[in-house]
Structure 1
Amino acid sequence: MTTQTIEEFEYEALPDNASLSASLLAGAFAGIAEHAIMYPVDSIKTRMQILQPTPQAVYTGVLNAFSKISTTEGAKTLWRGVNSVILGAGPAHALYFGTYEYAKHAFGGNESGHHPIAAAAAGACATIASDALMNPFDVIKQRMQVHGSVYTNVMDCFLKVNKAEGFRAFYISYPTTLTMTIPFQSIQFATYEYLRKVLNPSGAYDPMTHITAGGIAGAVAAAATTPLDVAKTLLQTRGEATDVRIRNCNGLVDAFKLIYQRQGLAGFGKGLGPRVLSHMPSTAICWGVYEYGKWFLSRDSSDQQPINLP
């Protein structure tokens, strides 16, 4: 039996009559889903990247870390700081996807054929905007993820870090974050757009295509940018260290030098496994939710819905 589509409509771009708030809503839901669902694995990744871990927080792998944390600190510990992500991810991802759609259209990425440069450039624009909003929430998240964290909640962490280190502490890693996320998002978006068109040339809404392309794109981008993520973690958690050199680490170059001196080249691969393990499903979830949101909004805004006949 063959399937014939009587009426097709374009869902890749939201309809002209869709409100701005409706257009950004898909991105907000996607961001919250992406970060919240895989949060425990992200917590393990942060623990494994700490340059000066406590003796109780030395792990040999993802399963060892999960078992050790759950046994000695309780499984609930793996969710410490998730409220910070939920608070920041919604508005940050709304801005992220809104910027991406606008920039991709402006750069010609919606034209027929493959446009990896347009997709990559749009991804870079999106991450510059969203990271400016998300960076303080990410700092709070990682401060609450480290072993022995004494913060009781998100606000407590914000107030104590701000008092002890100043507001600059929430943006000390921003240049490093951009150095990492611009190539990460450029690789991710270019890979995703390429795979989406290869796997589904018709451009029709297909959940499995978006999930598969998103997962592969996230894994490739995460693996390629892990060394930068290690440096970012060092800068964002430096205030929790007792080592004076770590506490005074200032910027990407200084972080790279310190990591190499202490752990050699192997130090730049710390957390690679859990980083890929968390990003692969999280980006698959993110793209799946986002593309569904676009399809749903386009469907409701269209007078004609597609009808599939056997």
Structure 2
Amino acid sequence: MIRKGDESTKNVTTAGPVLQSRQKTDLGITPGQQIVASGTGAMITTLLVTPLDVVKIRLQAQVKPIGSVSISGHCFLYCNGLMDHVCTCINGGSVSKQWYNRGGHFNGVLDAFLKISRTEGILKLWSGLSPTLVMAVPATVLYYTAYDQLKYSMGYKYETSSSLIPVAAGGIARVFAVSVINPLELVRTKMQSRPLTFKEIVGCIRTAVQDGGILSLWRGWGPTVLRDVPFSCLLWFNFEILRARLMRLYHLEETTFPVSFVSGAVAAGIAAFFTNPFDVVKTHRQIELGEMDALKDVKRNPASTFLIIRRIYARSGMNGLYAGFIPRLGRVVPACAIMIGSYEFGKSFFQRYNEQHQR
């Protein structure tokens, strides 16, 4: 016969590993399950918000248009999807330059959508979707998985932990993801030029290393980090605070999709506002690097970040530093809301599955 006290002791002993794993690995979810949750969210987000990102870069690029010189054999790639990038590449140059110049001047977000759809076809709003998925999915998987693992390894717990833990975890995770994924930018831009076999991709990488050294594969790393790390720190700082407050407000014990969606949207909007000047600088610097590469102007060093900021401010004032802010806000807010909401929903699903499996 089992006494009531013995039964209680048995339950505590059985539940012990579950509670311990929750504290250490985000409520019991494994890294493999995090990868599935973040990868699924990345694919959904990319499909939904790619048109907004295309419009954002088009509007930003108007502040610094391409020169009128004709460069044979090169093309300028401004953006396509969530991963914006500019560089020069071989083959098909006239097509890409015509793609940039089509539609004339854009007077706003709606005008850009209409002109691109009418003059280039509605599918052009999803330009480069396949290579973008090649970049966005692994980058997002690395970023979100690293963030959660770092956050909980630092001892994060709801309600009691310092808000600096999400800031540190978000910043470190972004640097890690950018550093790992950055060399794949070369592959992605080549894929946007024309279909390539695996042998041709390897050849492109080998040529880039021979011409510019191994560090050429990390070109553009600095501007990307300068923009993305502050954004990541602000995003997770505000998200964790907002989520905790909403959970207290509605007396929730677990995060729900609406709570994650709203918290992610508000946090993303705040982060986007404060980091938009760096987003504009990143676009300008990539354009400048592309022009230097196309003209083989290896003697001239690219302008520093703060020099570019001064130039933009002198020419266009605050409007220049916040060029493309509305479409960026319209892309970043739903993208982060959908991504974080989907990711948290996937984690909740696996949490329930793991608990049921352990019982």
TM-score (norm 1): 0.80
* 2:141 is the alignment partner of 1:94: yes
- Measured at CA, do residues 36 and 130 of structure 1 come closer, stay the same or move farther in structure 2, by a change above 3 Å? farther
Are 1:114 and 1:194, in contact at CA under 8 Å, matched by a contact in 2?
no
Matches of 1:234 and 1:31, distance apart in 2 = 26
Q: Is the alpha carbon distance of 1:213 and 1:19 closer, same or farther for their aligned partners in structure 2, counting shifts above 3 Å?
A: closer
Code of the aligned partner of 2:259: T
Aligned in 2, Cα 1:47/1:58: closer, same or farther, shift over 3 Å? same
Rounded Cα–Cα distance in structure 1 between residues aligned with 2:326 and 2:196: 27
2:59·2:323 contact (CA, 8 Å) conserved in 1? yes
SS at match of 2:65: coil
Query: Within 1, Cα distance between the matches of 2:230 and 2:309?
Result: 17
Q: Is the 8 A contact 1:28 1:89 kept in 2?
A: no
Picking from 65, 77, 102, the partner of 1:52 is 65
Residue aligning to 1:147:
none
* 1:37 corresponds to 2:48: yes
Q: What amino acid maps onto 1:238 in structure 2?
A: E
Greater displacement, 28-37 / 121-130 = 28-37
Q: Does 1:25 align with 2:78?
A: no
Tell me the equivalent position of 1:297. Answer: 350
Cα distance in 2 between the residues matched to 1:139 and 1:115: 39
Match of 1:213 in 2: 263
Q: 2:155 touches 2:161 (CA, 8 Å); kept in 1?
A: no
Aligned mates of 1:261, 1:213 — CA distance in 2: 36
Q: How does 1:128-139 map to 2 (within 5 A)?
A: 128-136=175-183
Report the CA distance between 1:173 and its aligned residue. Answer: 2.0
Three-state SS of the structure 1 residue aligned to 2:159 is coil
Unaligned runs of 5+ in 2: 1-17, 67-100
Partner AA of 1:171 in structure 2: W
Unaligned runs of 5+ in 1: 1-8, 145-149, 306-310
Query: What is the match of residue 109 of structure 1?
Result: 156
Over 3 Å counting, the alpha-carbon distance change for 1:205 and 1:157 in structure 2 is same
Count of residues in correspondence between the two structures: 292
The amino acid across from 1:105 in the alignment is Y
**Which position in structure 1 is the counterpart of 2:330?**
277
Q: Residue 70 of structure 1 is aligned with which of 96, 117, 126?
A: 117
- Contact 2:39-2:138 within 8 A present in 1 as well: yes
Cα gap change, 1:100 to 1:82, in 2 (>3 Å): same
Cα distance in 2 for residues equivalent to 1:275 and 1:91: 22
Q: Give distance in 2, aligned partners of 1:227 and 1:140.
A: 28
Give CA-to-partner distance per residue, 1:119-177, whole Å, 9 cap, x none.
11111011111112343556777x79xxxxx83458899959959x8576653321111
Q: Secondary structure at the match of 2:182?
A: helix
1:151 aligns with 2:151: no
Deviation at 1:90, TM superposition (A): 1.9
What corresponds to 2:224 in structure 1? 177
The residue number in structure 1 matching 2:91 is none
The root-mean-square deviation of aligned C-alpha atoms, in Å, is: 3.6
Counterpart Cα distance in 1 of 2:184 and 2:357: 42
Q: Which amino acid aligns with 1:188?
A: L
1:187 maps to which residue? Answer: 234
Task: Please say which structure displays the higher CA radius of gyration.
Answer: 2
Q: 1 CA distance for matches of 2:114 and 2:187?
A: 24
SS of 2:193's partner is: coil
Q: 1:258 to 1:226 in 2, by over 3 A?
A: same
Q: Is the 8 A contact 2:103 2:116 kept in 1?
A: no
Residues in 1 aligned to 2:350 and 2:247: alpha-carbon distance in whole angstroms: 20
2:276–2:321 Cα contact (<8 Å) kept:
yes
- 8 Å Cα contact 2:135-2:181 kept in structure 1: yes
Q: SS of 1:49's equivalent? A: helix
SS of 1:303's partner is helix
Classify 1:111/1:206 alpha carbon distance in 2 versus 1 (closer, same or farther; 3 Å): closer
TM-score (norm 2): 0.70
**Percent of residue pairs bearing the same amino acid type:** 26
